[in-house]
Chain A
Amino acid sequence: MKGLKTEEKIKLILQRREAMIKLCLSACVHCSLCAESCFKFHNHSKDPSYMPSYKALHSIGKIFRKKGKLKDEEFEEMKDLIWNKCVLCMRCYCPMGISIPLLIAAARAVCREKGYYRTYDVISKRIEKSKKVLTK
């Protein structure tokens, strides 16, 4: 992997898991039954954007369809989706047997190559907000 350009790395990542991702994406019937198995979904007053299938389809689904050629804004949106809205606890259950964590892990791998990953040392806006609330 070393010495390759970002684009090529992404292509390699996608190629290696192509059959798997293809099978998973083609098997998804968009039934939304996975929603209740996600604890993040429950904790955020059942916000549909926390649904496992939504997270998978709008990250790896998008990347796979456009073969990794996405705009920076789209990656920025995806970053929130797969790093903050999912913790990869592997507890989500798909009635069709799709492994959603694997899809999100693949999306994370692509995003990491692109330079979008969780930044621990930078105080996020959310923490700043909560600090303000606490100090009031």
Chain B
Amino acid sequence: MRYSALRVIKEALTGHKGWTPAWRDVAPQAHYDYIVIGGGGHGLATAYYLARDHGAKKVAVLEKGWIGGGNVGRNTTIIRSNYLLDGNEPFYEHSLKLWEGLEQDLNYNAMVSQRGILNLIHSDAQRDAFTRRGNAMILNGADADLLSTQTIQKRYPFINVDNARFPIKGGLAQHRGGTVRHDAVAWGYARAADQLGVDIIQNCEVTGFRIQGGTCLGVETSRGYIAGGKIAACVAGSSGRLMSKAGMRLPIESHVLQAFVSEGLKPVLPGVITFGAGHFYCSQSDKGGLVFGGDIDGYNSYAQRGNLPVVEDVCEGAMAIFPMLGRVRLLRMWGGIMDMSMDGSPIIDRTHIDGLYFNGGWCYGGFKATPASGWCYAHLLARDTPHEFAKAYRFDRFEKGQMIDEKGVGNNPQLH
């Protein structure tokens, strides 16, 4: 069924009896050419691009719970492509371009809103760094705009630019950045993939891999054994857990990251704003809640909840730049588990086991990467060569000294 305004009107007049489920509920078949493990944004996008662009016929997405129930449902919905390094920027810019055409591609309203993102500058050194980053973005075909304090004050009169400790000295804006309705991304990709014949199998947890002679033949699941030509792990957040079943250790630690939503407010915050001195960023959802977050808690965790010191730290960051938020009440907070890689950049690569592929290590930047991650992973799966934009995301970059660390601080599993 194709969604359109006409369809909505027709259904409204006929008692909404014509709507059908957005994707089929199917039982697993005995064999697939491609098995994508993980029905999140990245996994569903991978399946969609496999079917659409690479002519893959027998594709399954296995999800242990319900699709979109992991990190694609737990993030702060920001899209942007403001990276510095050549290994990253073309990839994220490709992602942003895919976001721009996503709703037409999928025939699904994902509420892509390019309301802009502003990174605040608090010191001369930071201005130098952000100017450099802006130039790198422009060289890679993205947009970047260095704003003066006066412009910021004019556009965002509620920002405290005269904070005694962290005065605001300007900002780097990417006007094409913004937010997307995160759940709709999973649902839109699922529906579009399903229409291309992809089997989306929920409540199907992978419990093991069948590996013989260095080749992965299939997966053991809670719904029985499923044989597969190529097995694609795509479970960022649970990568350590899943890949240990294949006997693999990863250059990744799992950490908990908290996010927050305030009570609903009338429109007060245009765009996404990030604090450059602490770690705090904020946007306002279409429902009116302020959506914000900060740093990871900082210790290994698979528990989807964090602790209070980080809550305090994030709220202090909020108060430093938005004193107007002082009386806003917090509605909800939650934690999600991040694959924190050793250089803050992801991995999309083959593993040492034939037929087993890996996509993970997204730290806390995976949401914005969803379309390009699926695009590049599908390319790798179908052609066995890395996509041009993802060729730096290799497993062996650590031992070869080719880390992609945006901050240039060396290996540390707490970067992003």
Whether both chains belong to one complex is answered with no
- A-contacting residues of B (Cβ < 8 Å)? none
